Amino acid sequence: QVQLQQWGAGLLKPSETLSLTCAVSGGSFSGYFWIWIRQPPGKGLEWIGEITHSGSTRYTPSLKSRVTISIDTSKNQFSLNLSSVTAADTAVYYCARGDRYYGSGTNPPPSYMDVWDKGASVTVSS
Amino acid sequence: DIQLTQSPSSLSASVGDRVTITCRASQSISRYLNWYQQKAGKAPKLLIYAASNLQSGVPSRFSGSGSGTDFTLTISSLQPEDFATYYCQQSYSPRTFGQGTKVEIK
């Protein structure tokens, strides 16, 4: 079955750029969209953004000025860059697969996140 | 952004109890609402999508209902493995999550 595995630096200094990459294996890469989510220590989940197989992106408004999500279809990978990090960006970062439910008859179809990686801790500290 | 408010924020329940968690959206989101379960130190797991559709492999004691602004996740008979935090999430606009509901053992 499909698996997601991410990697990247786990410790950053303020003002540096966070870079994470998520590789998809064991399943189709096309036909889905690919998502980044984060969870600060002891807090809830925050959707960061997503990218389609064709490269179309959407970002959460609060991070839009600092976030770039990209995709490499030749490697079945997608990446997150978050610039000018501060301590507030300390969190567990998850990558996930997004899919759509076409049985509802609504347009656009409802979407959901059905496969997640185990998450990676990123700490920002001087 | 659409805000999602879950209630209660936490609850204590016993094995076998019927548990209901609600999620209210700040504006109508039709049925663009999903539910996830997260256990400590683990990634979230999809339970319900599009308000009422049970994800493959999820036990039938979990069910979802609602549309518009008010949604409910119900666990018909709480099992030991169900003690976790539950999140609602909307896919109508820039995605957002509710703040979570922690289900603890009474």
User: pLDDT tier at A106 (50, 70, 90 boundaries)?
Assistant: confident
Per residue in A37-93, pLDDT tens? 999 999 999 999 999 999 999 999 999 999 999 999 999 999 999 999 999 999 999
Six-digit token pair at B89? Answer: 């999430």
Chain B interface mutation, best of A112, A114, A115, A117, highest count of B Cβ atoms under 10 Å:
A112
Smallest CA–CA distance from A97 into chain B, residue: B46
Per residue in B52-67, pLDDT tens? 999 999 999 999 999 9
Query: Contact, A102 vs A109, CB < 8 A?
Result: yes
* Mean pLDDT within B4-20: 98
* Mean pLDDT within A86-109: 94
pLDDT at B49: 98
pLDDT at A107 over 90: no
User: pLDDT tier at A105 (50, 70, 90 boundaries)?
Assistant: confident
Say how far apart CA A26 and CA B88 lie, in whole Å: 28
pLDDT at A14 over 90: yes
pLDDT at B93 over 90: no
pLDDT at A12 over 90: yes
Six-digit token pair at B46? Answer: 């999809």
- Other C-beta atoms lying within 10 Å of the C-beta of residue B81: 9
pLDDT at B28: 96
Say how far apart CA A21 and CA A82 lie, in whole Å: 12
**What residues of chain B have any CB closer than 8 angstroms to a CB in chain A?**
1, 30-34, 36, 38, 42-46, 49-51, 53, 55, 87, 89, 91, 94-100
Smallest CA–CA distance from A43 into chain B, residue: B99
Per residue in B30-54, pLDDT tens? 999 999 999 999 999 999 999 999 9
Query: Contact, B35 vs A113, CB < 8 A?
Result: no
Chain A interface mutation, best of B30, B58, B95, B96, highest count of A Cβ atoms under 10 Å:
B95
pLDDT at A49: 98
3-state secondary structure of A57: strand
**DSSP class of A83:** -
Average per-residue pLDDT for chain A: 96
Q: Distance of alpha carbon B25 from its chain centroid, rounded?
A: 13
Query: Position A10: which residue type?
Result: G
Q: Distance of alpha carbon A96 from its chain centroid, rounded?
A: 6
* Mean pLDDT within B21-34: 97
pLDDT at A103 over 90: no
Of A44, A46, A110, which is closest to B49 when you measure between CB atoms?
Answer: A110
Q: Do B95 and A47 touch (CB under 8 A)?
A: yes
Query: Exposure of B67 by Cβ count < 10 A (0-12 exposed, 13-18 middle, 19+ buried)?
Result: middle
Query: Exposure of B99 by Cβ count < 10 A (0-12 exposed, 13-18 middle, 19+ buried)?
Result: middle
